[in-house]
Amino acid sequence: MKEQYKRDPNPDKINLIVGTYKDGEGQTPVFRAVKRAEMRILKEETTKNYLSIEGMPEYATAVQYLIFGAEHEIVQEQRAVTAHTPGGTGALRIAGEFLKRIRGNGVRVWLSDPTWPNHGPIFKASGLPVERYPYFDPQSQALAFEELISALGNIPERDIVLFHGCCHNPTGFDPTAEQWREIVEVIRRRNLFPLIDFAYQGLGSGLRDDVEGILTLCRSGSELMIASSFSKNFGLYNERVGALTVVTPTAEVAHAALGHVKKCIRSCYSNPPAHGAKIVTTVLDSPSLRAGWKREVTEMRQRIHRMRRLFVEKLEEKGVEQDFSFIESQRGMFSYSGLTSDQVQLLREEHSIYILGSGRINIAGINESNVDRLCEAIASVV
């Protein structure tokens, strides 16, 4: 569809299929804080020598502070280890390799239905069978929470369950704080292993608020893994920077876990690329760069919220009677719009508006210049 979009000669074509953040001008810019950090790095760098297998220790610390906060008991008691991976994808793949190695044959990975399309192939490539648990109810345009809880209760003990830490891709629906607590109850009762895909920290409700689900899972005392990505919240898509964090009951277990993670990394890519991790560490360790970066993440998040509201308002203004108000309660860049595959096809063929067949919209692809045309076209197809 990307190719079709490129070939489309219509100057007013609208691209809502992409997976990257777009600003009001339709660009995916370099963060100002990132540029400043890069200038510092360029000036101070003295070698391009290999990093260690798990990456730089300063990076691991910065990532843990960002997830848990420096004062969190997991950090204080050194119950977590973090390895720098090439992107969130790398973190997920190393998690798959690690879990296959440690949990052995027979365990499965359970993914939400729907989920990010790459999840299945990543775990299958690690040799782990993949199953699905219900997540979304298209009828009510909401989380299928009852079904989710009841499905979790039937997953065999010791299996791995993948959750999106925040900003569920593709639906945009996250569990509430109370729902996270219920999820944790079942996880504990069934002795399941949570693996959290954390690709959108800061794009939902805020850098701290978006960790709420993860921190609730941590309170259960169980072991878990977190696959962070800095592609979106630092705009570092092509630098391939992410991290795998393993949370365990004791510092000794954490240390042993890192040994296994390193063995997995060694046979996959040996050691990570440095530049992206240096940027993230430089920004997070410098009070002024960090403050600037936080402002930029806030700008992104607020723009997404603004576009959600504008989209819903404009649809109403253009006379659409169907209720799209749920779009305002979704979080993150993506939204299951509820548009059917036929409507999506009409939008593409008659209006040069590109939306995935599932109806998933990248809300960041909407801006003040295209929202009227978009909503008029939607009004004509619903």
Q: What is the DSSP letter of 236?
A: -
Active site residue 23: no
Q: Tell how strand 160-164 and strand 109-113 pair up.
A: parallel
Which residue out of 110, 159, 180, 197 is catalytically annotated?
197
The contact set with ligand PMP (CB under 6 A) reads 19, 87-89, 116, 164, 169, 197, 199, 229, 231, 242
CB of residue 168 vs ligand PMP: minimum separation in angstroms? 8
Q: How far is CA 116 from CA 55, 120, 171, 172, in A?
A: 27, 8, 10, 11
CB of residue 237 vs ligand PMP: minimum separation in angstroms? 6
CB of residue 284 vs ligand PMP: minimum separation in angstroms? 17
Which residue out of 22, 232, 278, 314 is catalytically annotated?
232
What SS3 state is found at 197? strand
Alpha carbons 352 and 375: distance in angstroms, whole number: 13
Alpha carbons 256 and 308: distance in angstroms, whole number: 45
Which C-beta is closer to ligand PMP: that of 226 or that of 261? Answer: 226
Q: Within 13 Å, how many C-alpha atoms sit on residue 375's CB side?
A: 25
Active site residue 197: yes
Is residue 230 within 8 A of residue 195, CB to CB? The reply is no
234 CB-near residues (< 8 Å, 6+ apart): 31, 34, 241, 276, 279, 280, 283, 293
CB of residue 368 vs ligand PMP: minimum separation in angstroms? 25
Return the residue matching tokens 């299928």.
144
Active site residue 110: no
Count, residues in the chain: 382
Q: How far is CA 343 from CA 5, 142, 152, 293, 370, in A?
A: 17, 20, 34, 39, 18
Which C-beta is closer to ligand PMP: that of 88 or that of 292? Answer: 88
Which residue out of 110, 116, 180, 293 is catalytically annotated?
116
Closest CB to ligand PMP: residue number: 87
Token duo for residue 320? 């659409």
Which C-beta is closer to ligand PMP: that of 116 or that of 371? Answer: 116
Which C-beta is closer to ligand PMP: that of 216 or that of 229? Answer: 229
Which C-beta is closer to ligand PMP: that of 169 or that of 282? Answer: 169
CB of residue 62 vs ligand PMP: minimum separation in angstroms? 16
Q: Using the Cα atoms of residue 342, residue 365, residue 328 and residue 165 in order, give the sign of their dihedral.
A: positive
CB of residue 333 vs ligand PMP: minimum separation in angstroms? 8
Which C-beta is closer to ligand PMP: that of 20 or that of 345? Answer: 20
Q: Catalogue the active-site residues.
A: 116, 197, 232
